[in-house]
Chains A and B, each alone.
Chain A
Amino acid sequence: MRNSILFVPLLVGFVLAHLLLRVGLGVGDAAPDLLTVSLLLSARQVRSGQAAGLGFFLGLLEDGFSILAFGANTLTLVVLALLASRTRDLLVSETPGFLLAYLTVGVWVRGVLHWIVTAADLRTRAIPALLIEAPVVAIYSASTVVLLLVILRVVQWDPQR
């Protein structure tokens, strides 16, 4: 996937699309979490230190709208980037099925991490937040992006694999 000419523009595009959809067009949570997806895809392609730096920058962008939970997004995405960069050594595959599973788990873990680092009085209850909302967001975001990647032929759909 890294060799695809679309890879870097696509990741930058995901970040811009995330902010445009959620902030610019006011779609909010109805838009997929493309920021996290972009980080998860990037973290498998660069070194862990660089991934953490990217996570810091992207998290800071989201924290621009946080007042009482400032830094929660930044810390979450740095930890997520470090974890995601480790998966490169453990899981080697770039099939759509693997990407779907990887992104689903990754976005869900992002929800869990954010819930953990947010102060107790600012977060919703654990079960609805972690077992209902976060998985729905994760499946929605992952399936949207994988579908897009398959359509753009950044990843190849091969039923034999």
Chain B
Amino acid sequence: MDADGSAARLRRDRFWGFFWFVAALVLTILPMQVQQGVSSVLRATVLAPFLWTQESLQRARLRTEEVDDLRAQLDEAMARLVGLAGLRLENEELRATLGLQARLPFPYVGASAVRPGTRGSDSLLLLDVGAQHGVSVGDPVISADGLLGVIREVGPVNSLALDWTHPDFAVSVITETSGVGGIVEAWRGSFREEDRLFLKGIAYNEPLSAGDLLVTSGLGAYFPRGIPVGWVDSEAGSEAGWQRSFWVRPVVPVERVTHVLVLRGSIRLEDVDLTPAWSGAEWDFPDAPEADTLTDSNALVDTEGSE
């Protein structure tokens, strides 16, 4: 009797072991939409308290760091406001007269960015804005330095974004000065600290110098023109003797990003150029070679094209 019971328990145990294994296997091959639905439900229920904790801590940290700065700015702003009150009224009257609405140069929404920190969530950012804030899949995510990534999944009040270290990240770019264009993709190093960007598809006769700033070209469905992506670093190699590729040093250090802007869907217009938004920035290119130009066939050529 005991032997029968033990055998039955063993069979039941094997059945359940096999069942959970098959269930886990099925999870990996579900359509991506279903997988995203499951993960969204988990984040909205079981994992919500932990996400809330991280968001709250981050907000508190930001507030602590910025409170002195904000106080000084507030004092300055109040002083200016007193002087500008008359101008503001006049401006509003003019806008009303012309039928314009007071608005920002381009639609965006600010968000706090947090890292999930679990295995398999590398290159993902959780943002505290979602569909209710006008965010949609494919919206560019930027920081004060330039392009950070793109929105991949949107919930009602939060969203998931890929940063530039993700293998799926790719963007069409041009140089700010010479207008040479190519595709920048993520390149993963042996360790995450070695992650960088890779520019490919540059013809041999096109001028490109170390230190050239690459900005989004505006081609494709997601990114408007003029968002800084990275600096040309060094030549990575050549393909079939007629194309070159380069390492690119990203402008946005992903590990330090805590606050981002999401450019909302309506920005995706081919004639939109965001270059002026960064024109006042002072770029600091660490370890950049000086303007001197390398002259052999495998080296960089200067921006005037002289080899």
Complex contact B23–A49 (CB within 8 A): no
- Asked whether B13 is an interface residue with its Cβ less than 8 Å from the other chain, the reply is yes
Interface residues on A, range: 35 or more
- Asked whether B59 is an interface residue with its Cβ less than 8 Å from the other chain, the reply is no
Label chain A's interface by main secondary structure.
helix
B residues near A (Cβ < 8 Å) are 9, 12-17, 19-21, 23-25, 27-30, 32, 35-36, 38-39, 42-43, 46-47, 49-51, 53-54, 57-58, 114-121, 124, 126, 152-153, 160, 162, 167-168, 188-192
Q: What 1/0 flags go to A53-82 for Cβ under 8 Å of B?
A: 101100111111111111111110011001
B120 touches which of A31, A48, A56, A118 (Cβ 8 Å): A118
* CA distance in complex: A27, B116 (Å): 9
Closest 9 CB pairs of A and B: A49-B16, A71-B28, A64-B42, A65-B116, A24-B53, A71-B27, A65-B121, A52-B20, A28-B117
* CA distance in complex: A99, B9 (Å): 28
Complex contact A64–B16 (CB within 8 A): no
Given contacts A26-B114, A66-B121, contact A75 B57 (CB under 8 A): no
Given contacts A26-B54, A26-B114, contact A64 B43 (CB under 8 A): yes
Given contacts A64-B43, A67-B152, A70-B39, contact A78 B20 (CB under 8 A): yes
Given contacts A64-B42, A70-B28, contact A49 B116 (CB under 8 A): no
Q: 7 new A-B pairs (CB below 8 Å) besides A23-B51, A25-B53?
A: A26-B114, A50-B16, A61-B46, A70-B36, A73-B120, A75-B21, A79-B21
* CA distance in complex: A104, B124 (Å): 28
Label chain B's interface by main secondary structure.
helix
Among listed A90-98, A121-129, A138-146, interface-contacting one: A121-129
In the complex, 11 of the A-B residue pairs with CB atoms within 8 angstroms, ordered by the A residue number, are A23-B118, A29-B117, A52-B16, A64-B39, A65-B117, A70-B27, A70-B38, A71-B24, A75-B25, A114-B119, A127-B190
* CA distance in complex: A61, B54 (Å): 16
* CA distance in complex: A128, B36 (Å): 30
B115 touches which of A26, A51, A56, A68 (Cβ 8 Å): A26
* Distance to closest chain B CB from A98 (angstroms): 24
Q: Which residues of B contact A6 (CB under 8 A)?
A: none
Complex contact A65–B120 (CB within 8 A): yes
A residues near B (Cβ < 8 Å) are 19-20, 22-29, 31, 33, 47-53, 55-56, 59-75, 78-79, 82, 114, 117-118, 121-122, 124-125, 127-128, 133
* CA distance in complex: A144, B183 (Å): 45
* Distance to closest chain B CB from A60 (angstroms): 7
Complex contact B190–A20 (CB within 8 A): no
Given contacts A61-B46, A69-B120, A72-B28, contact A26 B20 (CB under 8 A): no
Which residue of chain A is the closest to B44 with respect to CB atoms? A64
* CA distance in complex: A64, B120 (Å): 10
Complex contact A67–B160 (CB within 8 A): yes
Complex contact B28–A75 (CB within 8 A): yes
Complex contact B13–A62 (CB within 8 A): no
Q: Which residues of A contact B30 (CB under 8 A)?
A: 70-71
Given contacts A67-B36, A71-B27, contact A128 B191 (CB under 8 A): yes
Complex contact A65–B17 (CB within 8 A): no
Complex contact B17–A48 (CB within 8 A): yes
Complex contact A26–B39 (CB within 8 A): no
Q: Which residues of B contact A69 (CB under 8 A)?
A: 120
* CA distance in complex: A26, B114 (Å): 8
* CA distance in complex: A130, B228 (Å): 36
Which residue of chain A is the closest to B23 with respect to CB atoms? A56
* CA distance in complex: A33, B20 (Å): 22
Given contacts A49-B16, A124-B188, contact A62 B50 (CB under 8 A): no
